[in-house]
Amino acid sequence: MSEPRIAVSIVTMGDRPQEVEALLASVAGQDVRPDRLVVVGNGSPLPDFSTFPGLSDLTGGVTAIELAENLGCPGGRNVALQKLAEFGDVDVVIELDDDGLLVDSGVFRKVRELFAADPQLGIVGFRIADERGETQRRHVPRLRAADPMRGGPVTAFLGGGHAFSMKMLAQTGPWPAEFFFTHEETDLSWRALDAGWKILYEPDLLLQHPKTSPARHSVYYRMTARNRVWLARRNLPLPLVPAYLGTWTLLTVARTRSATGLRAWAGGFAEGVRTPCGRRRPMRWRTVWRMTKLGRPPVI
């Protein structure tokens, strides 16, 4: 692929207007211009971005979509992806958290080079770091996470900043909207790997993002447990389902210090067992082996 056409997707709930303006300014400051920009108001109105400095002259313009209700992060992103698929003139989409910031002007150029060099590249994950340059351990997509500057092939990517091949999405399908929050990245990663696509963690692609904890969300424990059960039921060969869920049950009990959190987690686990999880498409055993060789078999 030579010089793939790039789009940017941002989903916001309307509660971070200053951060969104700063992010858009950093998008406008890139030395490679995106061909399109889609901003989704996830249950919230949007200002007029079409005249935002540096974005009014985009080839494909700025598309603002206001949703009547919050569809969750994956649901909101799917709306943007569907619109880009309808346009039909984008090869790579870059999705950015609305409170992120691109501090380097060469991010889009690097993304374009990576996808142009490898037609089997499906996903590129950015490095997430706070304003002091610190990357949280949970933001390094591998088990050996001591060095966030070590890039390479991985089995997962970071939801805050990443780039997708539109051809990959046409084959794998979009985000699992029913997840609403947590583990949607793992679900999409596993489907991409099983379809033969590569996932690359590239630490030179930096998204500055405030240091946060996912537990700040009131639904964190319940949805974490429910979605992990759904993830296993949807994607794993049957013998690996109890191994995966058993491992994460032990880790959760060992790590969680809140009795309220554990009760919410147990309720979410039960919900994941008894409720529909969507279409089941278990990965092939050769995908399991491929993930194992990459250092993260799908049991942890």
Read off the pTM: 0.95
| Domain locations along the chain | 6-212, 215-280
At 15, give phi and psi (nearest 5°). -100, 10
Handedness of CA 208, 192, 175, 24 (dihedral sign): positive
Looking at residue 150, its pLDDT comes to 94
What's the CATH number of domain 6-212, 3.40.50.10860, 3.40.50.300, 3.90.550.10, 1.10.1370.30? 3.90.550.10
Looking at residue 2, its pLDDT comes to 75
Let me know how long the chain is.
300
Contact 63, 37 (CB under 8 A): yes
Q: Which of 184, 194, 298, 191 is nearest to 248 (CA)?
A: 298
Contact 291, 244 (CB under 8 A): no
- 212 contacts: CB under 8 Å, gap ≥ 6: none
Q: Residue 285 and residue 295: Cα distance in Å, rounded?
A: 15
Q: Element (H or E) spanning 94, and its range?
A: strand 92-97
Looking at residue 50, its pLDDT comes to 79
Looking at residue 143, its pLDDT comes to 83
Residue type, 17: P
Looking at residue 218, its pLDDT comes to 56
Q: Residue 80 and residue 63: Cα distance in Å, rounded?
A: 9
54: helix, strand or coil: coil
Q: Residue 271 and residue 265: Cα distance in Å, rounded?
A: 10
DSSP secondary structure letters along 182-234: SSHHHHHHHHHHHTT-EEEEEEEEEEE-----GGGSTTHHHHHHHHHHHHHHH
Instruction: Please report, for residues 18, 147, 151, 292, the alpha-carbon distance to residue 142 in angstroms, rounded to integers and kept in the order given.
Output: 33, 10, 10, 12
pLDDT string in tens for the chain (300-residue length)? 579 999 999 999 999 999 999 999 999 999 999 999 999 999 999 998 878 888 988 888 899 999 999 999 999 999 999 999 999 999 999 999 999 999 999 999 999 999 999 999 999 999 999 999 999 988 899 888 889 999 999 999 999 999 999 999 999 999 999 999 999 999 999 999 999 999 999 999 999 999 876 655 558 999 999 999 999 999 999 999 999 999 999 999 999 988 999 999 999 999 999 999 999 999 999 999 999 999 999 998
